[in-house]
Structure 1
Amino acid sequence: MAETQEPVKTQQKCIAMFALICCSTVLLALIFSSVDVWGDNEDGITEDNCSRDCRAVLVENIPHELTLPDEGSGYIPLSVAFLTLLDQAKYSVEVVSPVWDLNCWEAWETWATAIKQSQLLFQRLLSLKSHGVKLKIASSQTNSAELKSLADHDAEVRFVNMTALTRGGLHSSFWIVDRSHIYIGSADMNWKSFSQRKELGVMVYNCSCLALDLHRVFSFYWQLHDKDYIPSIWSKRVTALYGKFNALELQLNTTQATAYVSTSPELFCPKDRTRDVDAIHQVIQSAKTFVFISVSDYLPLVTRTFRGTSITRYWSVIDEVIREAVVLRGVRVRLLISLWKQTHPLTFNFVTSLKSLCMQLNNCSLEVKFFSPKEQNNDIQQGFNHNKYVVTDNAVYIGNHDWVGSDFALNAGVGLVIKVQQSLKDRGVTILEQIKASFERDWKSRYAKKQIIKEQEGKFRNLQQTEINTHMDTEEESKWQSPLSL
C-alpha cells in the first residue's frame, strides 16, 4: 500500500512543480509582453546622477498678421527654438506629435515664408541619421507621408491607437533631446504652428532629471504601439519620478524652483503620475494674488453616450476651483478664451455664470475676454490663439489640452508644472514673469474683447452641434466625443 502511495505523491509533486513553472512562465510572458526592453534603457541616467541646474526659455509663435503691444516677454520664435534644439542633439531625439504636416504644398502661394520654415525643420529631421542621431517618433497619425519619409530615413515611428484605447485622440506634443533638453507646449508638427496659430511653450535645457521623467511618458506611448488595450502590468521605468506630492527640486535660471510632468487621461497615468486636472487644480489653488488663464476653448462639460443616447453633465473639476479662488480667497482671475469657428455655443453660458460671481461682492475680480483675430480667409482663421496655459504669482502649468471636460477624460496630453520657491521680491526675471508678460500683452491687445458683437454671439448660439462636428478638423474631432470616465 505504501509503495502505491509513493508514486502518487511523487506524481502530485511533479504536477505542482509543473503548475508553478507554468504560472511563472505566464507571469514573465505578461510582464515582457507589456513592457519593451527598450523602455528599460535610460542611458545610465538615474535620479542620483541627473542634472538639476537647468535653464528655461519661453517659446512663442506670433503670426505676422497680429499686431501686438511691444511689451517683450523675452520669447524665442518657435521655428528658431526647434532648430536650436536640434543643434543640441548628439545622440537621440524623441518626438510626440498628433499631426505631421510640415510640407503643405496646397497653401504654398499664401504661406510660402512660413512653410519654408516648417520644411527646413523637416529637412533637419531627415538629416539626423547622417549625423549619428537616433530619431524616435510616437504619433496617432497613420496616413502621414512625412512619417513614412522619416521612417525611410531610418527614423523609428510607432503608432498609438487612441481610438481603440480610449475612443479619444492624441493631443500630446513634446520633444526630448539627448535625455537632457525638452520642449512642452501647444505647437505640434503642423505648418500652421509656424504661421497662422499663436503658440506658446517652454524649452528646458540641461535638465536630465526632468527629461528622464518625460522620457518615461514617451516610453509609455512607445510601448502602446499597435496595442488595442492598456496593459495591466508595466515596467517601473514608466512610473513617475516626480509629481505634485514629490516635485523635482531644481535650480531654474538661477532661481530655486520645483517642477513635475503630468499626463492624461487617467488610464494613461501609471503609478505616482499626477493627472493634468490635478496639476491645474494645484496650481490654481496655490495662487495667492492672481490667476491668468489662456486657452482656445473653455467648456466644463462631458458627454456620455449610452445605447445611442447622449447624456451631458457638468464637469466641475476646474470650474469650481476657479470659483473658489475668486470668491473665497479673493484671487484676481483673468480668463482669455479664443473666439473661432469651433467655439461651442455653451461657452457663453459658462462665461456669463463666471462673470456674475462678482456682481454683489467686494474684493472680487473675475474678468473674461475673447481673443478674436482677423476674419477667416478661405476657412483659415489667421492669428488663432492656440495657447493652453495658466500662470499665477508662484506657478505655471503649460499643457496640450483645451479646458474641455472631454479632452481630459479621453485624450492623451502632457503638462509641465513649474513652481518658483522664492518670494516675488527675492527673485529675478523668471519663466513665470515671462509668461505673465506674454499674457498681459495679449490681454491688452486690440484682439482681446470683453464683449463680442451680439450678432456674432447669436450666430454661435444658433449653431447646431451637428454642424460643429461636420466642420471639425481631425485634430479637434475627439474633443466633443463622449468620455469613458473622468
Structure 2
Amino acid sequence: MQSQQKCIAIFALLCCFAVLLALMFSAVDVWVEEEDGITEENCNKNCRIVLVENIPEGFSFSSNATTHLPLTVALNGLLDLAKWSVEIVSSQWDLTSLEQQTDYFSANEGQRLFQQLLNLKNRLVKLKIVSGLSHSVELNSLSDHGAEVRFVNMTALTKGHIHSSFWLVDRKHIYIGSGSMTWKSLATRKELGVIVYNCSCLALDLHRIFSFFWQLQHKDYIPSIWSKRVTALYSKDEPLLVHLNSSDAVVYVSSSPDLFCAKDRTRDIDAIQRVILEAKKFIYVSVTNYLPLVWKTSNGQQLTRYWSIIDEALREALVLRRVRVYLLISLWKKTHPLTYNFVTSLKSLCLGLENCSLDVKFFSGPEENYRSNRKKREVNNNKYIVTDNSLYIGNLDWVGNEFTFNAGNGLVIKSAEGKLEGRPTILDQVKAAFERDWFSHDAKRLQDLILSGRTAGNPGLHPVKSEIRSKDRKVMRSMSL
C-alpha cells in the first residue's frame, strides 16, 4: 500500500515537473527561425530611410510643393527586394475592390500589389500575415497560394481591433505608417509612413512585435508568462543608435494597448508624451481624429471619462515651456462635434499670455472626384507628430479609445549630433510635408468652418480669434533656426 502511494506521489511530482519545465521553456529565448542569421550581435545599424506618402488626386498644393516616394511604388519595391520572407500586420485587406476600377483609380494599384503578393510563392518567398479579420476573401486567396495567415481575436482580448500597419521584409527592411492593405490607401486616402532599408537591428525588434501577434492565434487571453522572443530590445530609455542617411539618430518602436506591451516595450502613449516633453521650439501634429475621451459600455450604459495624457502634455508645453503648437486635424464624416470644443479649450489657454501660441486647422480633401463626378470627401489619414528634435509616426488616432483598446505601433526617431550640412534629415522632410499641408487650400481654420456651416453638428461653438495669420511662414522658419 505504501509503495503504491509512493508511486502515485512520484508520478504526481513528475507531472508537476513537466508542467513547470514547459512553462520555463515558454519564457526562454528560443529562436525557431534563423534562416537569415541575423542576431543582436551582427545586425546592421547603418540604415537608409525614405518618407513615403499617398497623395490623392485633386489636393490643392502649390506647384513647388514638396513630394515624396508614392506609397504604392514603395510597397511594390519592397516586394521586389524580398528574397526569403515578407511579414505583414494590417488592419484592412481590400486591395481588389472593383470600386477602384469604376470610380477612382484607373491604374488599379491595389490589384497590382495583391498580384505581387500572390506571386511570392513562385519566388519561394514566405509570406506571413496577421489579421483581425476572421472572414476575408483576399486572405483566403493568399492562404491558398501558400501564405501563412493567423487570426487574432481582438474582441476577446481587449474588446478592440487591430489597427497596426507594418511590414518586415527579410528581417532587414521595414515599412510602418498610416497606410493599410486597402486600395484606398493607394488611391483615395492621404497617407504617410516611412520605409527603412537595410536596418536589421530595428527590424529585429519589430519582428518581436510581429512574433507577439503571431503567438496570439486561438487565444482569448494574454499569456501571463512572456517569452523572451517578444520582449523589447530597445525603448524610450534605451533606444537604438543608428545612422540614418546623412545623420545619426536614436530610434525605437512602441506598442498599444497596455496588454500588448511586452517586457521593456514602450507604450505608444508614453512615446508621444516623451516627444512632446522634449520639444523645445515647436510641435506639429497631423492626425485624423483628436478626442481626449474614453467611453465604454457597462450594463447597457455608456460611460465616458476624460483621457488627459496627451491633452495635458500639450497644455504643459504651451503654458510652461512656451512651445508653439500646431494641430492639423482631419475634417470628415466621423469628426466628433466635441473635437471643436477641446481645441477651443486649448486655444483659450494662450489668451493674454505672451509667447504662448496654439493654432488649429482642419484638413479636408476635395469634395468632388473629377474622374467619377462623385461627391465623396477624401480623408487625411496621417498620424504623426514632429518637433524640432523628434518624430513619431504611428497607426492610431489621438482618441482615448484607440490607445486603450486597439492594437497599434509607432516608430520614434530622435535626432542626434552628426547631421551633414545641406542634407535634410527625415525630421526635416516630415516638417516640410506638414507645412505643405498646413498652407494648402485644403486646410482651414475653425472660424472659417463655422462661417461656412461645416461645423453644424456643434451649434454652441464660439470661435476664438487666431493669433497666427500672415506671420505663419516667418514664425515657422524661425523655429527651425
TM over 0.5: yes
Structure 2 distance, partners of 1:16, 1:346, is: 65
Match of 1:407, SS?
helix
Q: How does 1:276-287 map to 2 (within 5 A)?
A: 276-287=268-279
Give the aligned partner of residue 471 of structure 2. Answer: none
1:398 to 1:44, Cα distance in 2 relative to 1, 3 A:
same
Which one of the candidate residues 191, 201, 206 is aligned to 1:199? 191
1:73 to 1:395, Cα distance in 2 relative to 1, 3 A:
farther
Structure 1 distance, partners of 2:47, 2:142, is: 31
Matched, 1:308 2:300: yes
Structure 1 distance, partners of 2:320, 2:209, is: 36
- Cα shift readout 1:304-342 (whole Å, capped 9, x = no counterpart): 322222211110111111111111111111000000000
Matched, 1:134 2:126: yes
- Cα shift readout 1:263-322 (whole Å, capped 9, x = no counterpart): 000000010000000000011111111110000000000013222222111101111111
Match of 2:43, SS?
coil
> What percent of counterpart residues are identical?
61
Structure 1 distance, partners of 2:24, 2:91, is: 28
Structure 2 distance, partners of 1:20, 1:428, is: 66
1:75 to 1:197, Cα distance in 2 relative to 1, 3 A:
same
Could you tell me whether the CA contact under 8 Å between 1:181 and 1:205 is conserved in 2?
yes
Give the aligned partner of residue 62 of structure 2. Answer: 69
In the alignment, residue 65 of structure 1 is paired with which amino acid? G
Matched, 1:248 2:240: yes
Deviation of 1:75 (Å): 1.4
- Cα shift readout 1:6-39 (whole Å, capped 9, x = no counterpart): x85x777655543332122223445678999776
Could you tell me whether the CA contact under 8 Å between 1:89 and 1:177 is conserved in 2?
yes
1:149 to 1:38, Cα distance in 2 relative to 1, 3 A:
farther
Matched, 1:450 2:442: no
Match of 1:432, SS?
helix
Which one of the candidate residues 74, 78, 97 is aligned to 1:81? 74
Give the aligned partner of residue 477 of structure 1. Answer: none
Structure 2 distance, partners of 1:249, 1:96, is: 25
Structure 2 distance, partners of 1:237, 1:33, is: 9
Deviation of 1:438 (Å): 0.1
Give the aligned partner of residue 410 of structure 2. Answer: 415
Q: Which moved more, 1:11-20 or 1:101-110?
A: 11-20
Which one of the candidate residues 110, 117, 120 is aligned to 1:118? 110
Could you tell me whether the CA contact under 8 Å between 1:186 and 1:386 is conserved in 2?
yes
In the alignment, residue 400 of structure 1 is paired with which amino acid? N
Give the aligned partner of residue 363 of structure 2. Answer: 371
Q: Which moved more, 1:12-21 or 1:32-41?
A: 32-41
Match of 1:369, SS?
strand
Match of 1:176, SS?
strand
Root-mean-square deviation over aligned CA pairs: 2.4
Give the aligned partner of residue 96 of structure 1. Answer: 89
Structure 1 distance, partners of 2:384, 2:256, is: 15
Structure 2 distance, partners of 1:25, 1:242, is: 33
Structure 2 residue ranges without an equivalent (≥5): 461-481
TM value normalised by structure 1: 0.89
Could you tell me whether the CA contact under 8 Å between 1:238 and 1:270 is conserved in 2?
yes
Structure 1 distance, partners of 2:229, 2:214, is: 12
Greater percentage in helix: 1
Match of 1:197, SS?
coil
TM value normalised by structure 2: 0.89
Structure 2 distance, partners of 1:162, 1:369, is: 34
Q: Which moved more, 1:327-336 or 1:305-314?
A: 305-314
Matched, 1:154 2:149: no
Number of equivalent positions:
455
Q: How does 1:76-475 map to 2 (within 5 A)?
A: 76-114=69-107, 116-375=108-367, 381-422=376-417, 428-451=423-446, 452-454=449-451, 456-461=453-458
- Cα shift readout 1:15-64 (whole Å, capped 9, x = no counterpart): 55433321222234456789997766574321111000000000000001
Structure 1 residue ranges without an equivalent (≥5): 1-6, 464-486
In the alignment, residue 138 of structure 1 is paired with which amino acid? V
1:393 to 1:306, Cα distance in 2 relative to 1, 3 A:
same
Q: Which moved more, 1:85-94 or 1:63-72?
A: 63-72
Give the aligned partner of residue 472 of structure 1. Answer: none
Could you tell me whether the CA contact under 8 Å between 1:302 and 1:313 is conserved in 2?
yes
In the alignment, residue 93 of structure 2 is paired with which amino acid? W
Match of 2:50, SS?
strand
Structure 2 distance, partners of 1:280, 1:359, is: 26
Deviation of 1:113 (Å): 1.9
Give the aligned partner of residue 4 of structure 1. Answer: none
Deviation of 1:112 (Å): 3.7
Could you tell me whether the CA contact under 8 Å between 2:254 and 2:266 is conserved in 1?
yes
1:103 to 1:31, Cα distance in 2 relative to 1, 3 A:
farther
Deviation of 1:228 (Å): 1.2
Structure 2 distance, partners of 1:25, 1:376, is: 66
Deviation of 1:379 (Å): 8.4
Q: Which moved more, 1:56-65 or 1:298-307?
A: 298-307
1:447 to 1:211, Cα distance in 2 relative to 1, 3 A:
same
1:375 to 1:112, Cα distance in 2 relative to 1, 3 A:
closer
Could you tell me whether the CA contact under 8 Å between 1:39 and 1:238 is conserved in 2?
no
1:231 to 1:68, Cα distance in 2 relative to 1, 3 A:
same
Structure 1 distance, partners of 2:314, 2:338, is: 18
Q: How does 1:52-63 map to 2 (within 5 A)?
A: 52-63=45-56
Deviation of 1:428 (Å): 3.0
Give the aligned partner of residue 471 of structure 1. Answer: none
Match of 1:460, SS?
coil
Match of 2:453, SS?
helix
1:392 to 1:424, Cα distance in 2 relative to 1, 3 A:
farther
Could you tell me whether the CA contact under 8 Å between 2:291 and 2:399 is conserved in 1?
yes
Deviation of 1:406 (Å): 0.3
Structure 2 distance, partners of 1:49, 1:35, is: 21
Match of 2:457, SS?
helix
Match of 1:358, SS?
coil
In the alignment, residue 425 of structure 2 is paired with which amino acid? T
In the alignment, residue 332 of structure 1 is paired with which amino acid? R
Could you tell me whether the CA contact under 8 Å between 1:197 and 1:382 is conserved in 2?
no
Deviation of 1:374 (Å): 2.1
In the alignment, residue 127 of structure 1 is paired with which amino acid? N
In the alignment, residue 390 of structure 1 is paired with which amino acid? I
Could you tell me whether the CA contact under 8 Å between 1:62 and 1:383 is conserved in 2?
no
Q: Which moved more, 1:304-313 or 1:12-21?
A: 12-21
Could you tell me whether the CA contact under 8 Å between 1:176 and 1:182 is conserved in 2?
yes
Match of 1:20, SS?
helix
